[in-house]
Structure 1
Amino acid sequence: MHAIRLHAFGPAENLTYERADAPEPAPGQVRVAVAAAGVHLLDTALRTGVQGPLPELPALPTVPGREVAGTVESLGEGVADLWLGKRVVAHLGFSPGGYAELAVTDVDRLHEIPANLDFAQAVAMIGTGRTTMGILQFADLTADSVAVVPAAAGGIGTLLVQYAKHAGATVIGLAGGPEKVAHVEKNGADLAVDYKDPNWPDRVRSFLGDRPATIVLDGVGGDTAREAVALLADPGGKHLVFGWSGAGLLDGSPYLVEGVSQSVLGPPMMRKAGGPSPIRTLELRALTEAAEGRLVPAVQRFPLAEAAAAHRALETRATIGKVVLEP
């Protein structure tokens, strides 16, 4: 098979497309013929040698990628025959291996893909979608909500805009550059503005009139988040923080406001989801929302062989929606 391998931590060019041995499914595992592999911002950090939230860095050489969709083509010992030939999607957890033509994972991680979703859409929902569902547990969106979504053209931002509109909220989407702003407008935001324009907060205030924002759904941080938080109602505004693509999430960061800002990633999200498997609960919710047409993920596709280009595009914010590799 072909796979993307990383032999040394460093720049995107260190991702090489080469032949590799096909992985064999262990007992309780399946092997999937990969049709789509998700690319996450965390993948780019791991590639450079930044551990991030994972327990440890992968041993080198490694095949990156932790989100796959495809068809089950081989079964490990103890796996029911009914899985053979199924269209499935899975998050591989802490085990990499997704940037390849074949990948193995535990059968307990599999979800059968709804008939009306393609592989790329399914892989977008298994990671980006489940995070979106986790964030929305804290949002309490209604027809009275005025939601500001920084990075509204990204994978999560696209879904947040859609969900908020279905809830009847007024949605302000922020994006960088004309192409992304056009995507946010087409996606249904009531107002789409370019955060590269220094006057964007004034445009939002002019649009809203006397209405303040009630919630900021923030995966960016930095100056954009600080200016968005300044639009919130006082008191009563809510700033949900789930990422830091524009600035580090450190205690005392100037854009975090005591009593207003709330980090929802990790343990808070899992506690809120509850149940014996909170992650699986969120994955099922995400796939259901997509299957029923309430959420439609935006996907930007790259050939598997061009994984390095996909990483560079993601790191420079040159992508729209979820980045997906296709063998």
Structure 2
Amino acid sequence: MKAVQVTRFGAPDVLAVTDLPDPTPGPGQVAIDVTHAAVGLIDVYIRQGLYKDREGLPQPPYVPGLEVAGTVRALGDGVTGFAVGEKVVALSADATGGYASVHLSDQTRVVSTQGYDIDPALAVAVVPNAIMAHVALTRAITMSAGESILIHGALGALAAAFPGIARQLGASRVVGTVRTERMGAAAATKLPYDAIVDSAELSDALGGEKFDVIIDPVGGAVRTQSLDLLAPSGRLLLVGNASGDWTHRIDGNQIWYSNVVVAGFNAGVYLPAHPDAIGPAAEAALTAVAAGLADTEIEVLPLTDASTAHERLENHTANGRIVLTP
């Protein structure tokens, strides 16, 4: 099979196209002929070596890639509920294996898209993130119908899945924030936001509005500002750190005094511990995506351009999600 390997931790040029043996599914596994693999910040962070000392995360050489779409190639012993040729998406347990023409996945992390009118490029770009968004809003915290939600980094890969799921759960108002240079793209988005504002001008742009739930995949100064934007008993959910500010801290006394909740959601840790959450979340995600609630910008590149895709994520020049095709 064709694959892209990380040969060592470092810059995007450590990504190398290679030929590897076709994998065979073991018990409980599904082999997938990959048509599309999404490129995400987690791929970049691991390749950079940011998590090189974290137990359970890959060491070079490895094939990166968290999310894939394709068709079932073969089934391992004991696998039920799938058929060869069936359209699926899968979410890797350790963020590896996606940048390849064949991917092996545990059956519990494979979701059928058969019967849904969803383009596979869109499926890989948004369905796994919509699953995570649903789990985040129903399990990590609970967002109730009629509540308002603010989503930072509104057009980012994970963030873009939240407005559709929030609408599905009955949100009364959905507002996003983006960097100044992304306001043009925000004006053209089809995502179901009531408004998208400039994160550099939060106080003025929001005019004192408070939110029941705030989703923060950005971190840094935006995280601190979020505490002042929460309604009484509001919930701030930390789902990433796209700012790259790993030294930032928030004031515990402000959390206490304001009577708010700050929680973290890391899907890579949560989902293996709560596999029962994936089924209902997948059904909700597929319904939302098929209904057009997650139509985000997608750019498709060949697998051989994986290093270019990583460069564009690092320098913030990607417009929407980048998807690779073997």
Q: Superposed, which structure 2 residues align to 1:111-150 within 5 Å? A: 111-114=111-114, 115-137=116-138, 138-143=141-146, 145-150=147-152
Q: Distance in 1 between matches of 2:66 and 2:43?
A: 8
Query: Does residue 1:174 correspond to 2:177, yes or no?
Result: yes
Q: Distance in 2 between matches of 1:325 and 1:153?
A: 19
Identity of aligned residues (%): 28
The superposition leaves residues 161-196 of structure 1 with CA deviations (integer Å, 9 ceiling, x where unpaired) of: 33445535233311124445533663343332222x
Query: Residue type matched to 1:315 in 2?
Result: E
What TM-score does the superposition give when structure 2 sets the normalisation length? 0.83
Deviation for aligned residue 1:45: 1.4
Report the counterpart of residue 191 of structure 1 in structure 2: 195
Deviation for aligned residue 1:69: 1.1
Q: Is the 8 A contact 2:210 2:230 kept in 1?
A: yes
Residues 151 and 90 of structure 1: CA distance in aligned 2, closer, same or farther (over 3 Å): same
Query: Residue type matched to 1:170 in 2?
Result: R
- Alignment counterpart, residue 162 of structure 2, candidates 157, 160, 168: 160
Report the counterpart of residue 245 of structure 1 in structure 2: 242
Report the counterpart of residue 220 of structure 1 in structure 2: 218
Q: Is the 8 A contact 1:180 1:320 kept in 2?
A: no
Report the counterpart of residue 20 of structure 2 in structure 1: 20
Gaps of 5+ in 2: none
Q: Distance in 2 between matches of 1:284 and 1:52?
A: 34
Q: Superposed, which structure 2 residues align to 1:68-147 within 5 Å? A: 68-77=68-77, 79=79, 83-94=83-94, 96-114=96-114, 115-137=116-138, 138-143=141-146, 145-147=147-149
Deviation larger for 83-92 or 168-177: 168-177
Query: Residue type matched to 2:317 in 1?
Result: A
Residues 264 and 95 of structure 1: CA distance in aligned 2, closer, same or farther (over 3 Å): closer
What TM-score does the superposition give when structure 1 sets the normalisation length? 0.82
The superposition leaves residues 261-287 of structure 1 with CA deviations (integer Å, 9 ceiling, x where unpaired) of: 4223149x959x997623444334322
Residues 237 and 24 of structure 1: CA distance in aligned 2, closer, same or farther (over 3 Å): closer
Residues 73 and 319 of structure 1: CA distance in aligned 2, closer, same or farther (over 3 Å): same
Q: Distance in 2 between matches of 1:70 and 1:250?
A: 39
Q: Secondary structure at the match of 2:284?
A: helix
Q: Superposed, which structure 2 residues align to 1:284-295 within 5 Å? A: 284-295=283-294
Q: Distance in 1 between matches of 2:181 and 2:172?
A: 24
Report the counterpart of residue 264 of structure 2 in structure 1: 264
Deviation for aligned residue 1:86: 1.1
Q: Is the 8 A contact 2:227 2:255 kept in 1?
A: no
Deviation larger for 91-100 or 172-181: 172-181
Residues 257 and 282 of structure 1: CA distance in aligned 2, closer, same or farther (over 3 Å): farther
Q: Secondary structure at the match of 1:237?
A: strand
Gaps of 5+ in 1: none
Deviation for aligned residue 1:301: 2.8
The superposition leaves residues 273-318 of structure 1 with CA deviations (integer Å, 9 ceiling, x where unpaired) of: 9976234443343223323444445433332111111112222332
Q: Is the 8 A contact 1:37 1:65 kept in 2?
A: yes
Residues 134 and 321 of structure 1: CA distance in aligned 2, closer, same or farther (over 3 Å): farther
Query: Does residue 1:231 correspond to 2:229, yes or no?
Result: yes
Q: Secondary structure at the match of 1:124?
A: helix
Q: Superposed, which structure 2 residues align to 1:25-44 within 5 Å? A: 25-44=25-44
Q: Is the 8 A contact 2:7 2:61 kept in 1?
A: yes
Query: Does residue 1:299 correspond to 2:303, yes or no?
Result: no
Residues 265 and 200 of structure 1: CA distance in aligned 2, closer, same or farther (over 3 Å): closer
Q: Distance in 1 between matches of 2:167 and 2:181?
A: 22
The superposition leaves residues 80-103 of structure 1 with CA deviations (integer Å, 9 ceiling, x where unpaired) of: 696211111111212621101112
Q: Secondary structure at the match of 2:255?
A: coil
CA RMSD of superposed structures (Å)? 3.3
Q: Distance in 2 between matches of 1:33 and 1:214?
A: 42
Q: Is the 8 A contact 2:44 2:314 kept in 1?
A: yes
Deviation for aligned residue 1:213: 3.2
Residues 239 and 14 of structure 1: CA distance in aligned 2, closer, same or farther (over 3 Å): same
Q: How many residues end up aligned between the 2 structures?
A: 318
Q: Distance in 2 between matches of 1:109 and 1:146?
A: 31
Q: Is the 8 A contact 1:155 1:298 kept in 2?
A: no
